Amino acid sequence: MRFLLSTIGSRGDFQPLLALGLLLREQGCDVRLCAPPDFRELAGGLPFVPIGPPLTARTPRPATQLELFASIAETVATQFATLREAGADRDVIVGCNQIQVAAPSVAELLGTRYVFADFSPVVLPSPHHAPVPLPGMPPADPSVDNRTLWQREAARRTAMWGPALNEQRVAAGLAPVEDVLGHVVTDHPVLAADPALAPWVTPADLAVTQTGAWLPADDRPLSAELTDFLAAGEPPVYFGFGSMASPRVTGAAMLEAARALGHRAIVLRGWAGLDAAGDDCLTVTETNLQALFPHVAAVVHHGGSGTTTTAALSGVPQVVVPHLYDQFYFADRVRELGIGVTHTATDSLTDSLKLALQPEVATRARSIAPSIRRVGAQTAADHLTHPPY
């Protein structure tokens, strides 16, 4: 089978898609990736088609309303053009990230099967939870039932994306769509999240297939520098905020919290270019987190689905510092499961880390680890190559 796996999200969206793509290739499938140009070097030898501008080139200031609508029209036009060419010879288009609104339309135009996948249950419509507010938007009104909130969210998405999407659809000879959210998500999406960590609650209106998280098969050894650092003392605390360009916690604050509790620190630079200096601290640019996490005392991170799952699988306590979107959900789940704590804007990072380092949290984290699935990508591959519908 010939697959196009596409996203316009951050590395947290790209990495799982890559894990799935590499596994499908091992099974003899022809796989092509489509993602922002930032990730070309990470494609693992799979054919790669860039879509849109680099994520790192985005302006840090909020867009004006006029700029927002102009960028939406440009984004949708780029999606149509890129995906139409990249998917022309494909049997299946897998689209991740709900901003990628053109993927189902392109699949319809090409007569190709379309599958939508996402990495958190709370971003899918459900009567059991409210829509996740986007950055800058107020939280959902708790006095309104969830179905009504999702209807309002669907109307908002259609008002925002519908004109640009339908302009491209009509130009391609397709009928306009009246519900952009339903068009993108479909009524049978795939949920690439671990059932123990992030369960899909039923009954629900969508026929969701929950596969487990798509974790990469990462066999890279740790660097000699990192191995030597780990061997030189007690387990350090890991700090990493991935693609958060402006983390809520500075490198200095991270090091201060670790030192206050008698721990060394490992800091991942990430997109923010974090840095911390000292003999008791090591800054790294890239490493195998699956290999590293079992050797640290705790993981302090932003609450991305991949990092949260990898830390849970490693059985180490977590301090989640959520910044946006579904990161608040994963922070809540870590707290509810007793495998870590949520750090809020009013908390002391030292106090949060101290709570996470309590023996009972470490015990709970170790007890949960065996329930985290390692075969999510394999389950997804089986679902895609042998569809039940």
What does the pLDDT look like over 27-74, one tens digit per residue?
999 999 999 999 999 998 999 999 988 887 554 444 444 445 568 999
- Specify whether 154 is located in the same domain as 233: no
- Specify whether 145 is located in the same domain as 288: no
- Specify whether 179 is located in the same domain as 259: no
**Phi/psi of residue 342, nearest 5 degrees:** -100, 130
**Residue-range definition of the domain harbouring residue 334:** 224-371
Single-letter code of the amino acid located at 305: S
- Specify whether 35 is located in the same domain as 184: yes
What residues contact residue 66 under an 8 Å CB cut-off, 6+ apart?
A: none
- Specify whether 320 is located in the same domain as 249: yes
Judge if the upstream peptide bond of residue 203 is cis by omega within 30 degrees of 0: yes
What are 57-60's contacts with CB under 8 Å, separation 24+?
60/245, 60/246
Is the Cα dihedral 292, 297, 301, 303 positive or negative?
positive
Question: What CATH number did the domain enclosing 366 receive?
Answer: 3.40.50.2000
CA–CA separation, 181 and 141 (whole Å): 20
pLDDT at 26: 94
pLDDT above 50: residue 326:
yes
Shortest CA distance to 386 belongs to which of 113, 192, 15, 124?
A: 113
- Specify whether 379 is located in the same domain as 287: no
- Specify whether 236 is located in the same domain as 297: yes
Structural domain total, the chain? 2
The mean of the pLDDT values for the chain is 91
- Specify whether 47 is located in the same domain as 190: yes
State the pTM of this model.
Answer: 0.92
- Specify whether 379 is located in the same domain as 336: no
One-letter-per-residue 3-state SS of 306-355:
HHHHHHHHHCCCEEECCCCCCHHHHHHHHHHHCCEEECCCCCCHHHHHHH
- Specify whether 164 is located in the same domain as 26: yes
Averaged pLDDT for residues 348-361: 94
- Specify whether 34 is located in the same domain as 76: yes
Cβ atoms of 109 and 20 within 8 Å: the answer is no
- Specify whether 288 is located in the same domain as 350: yes
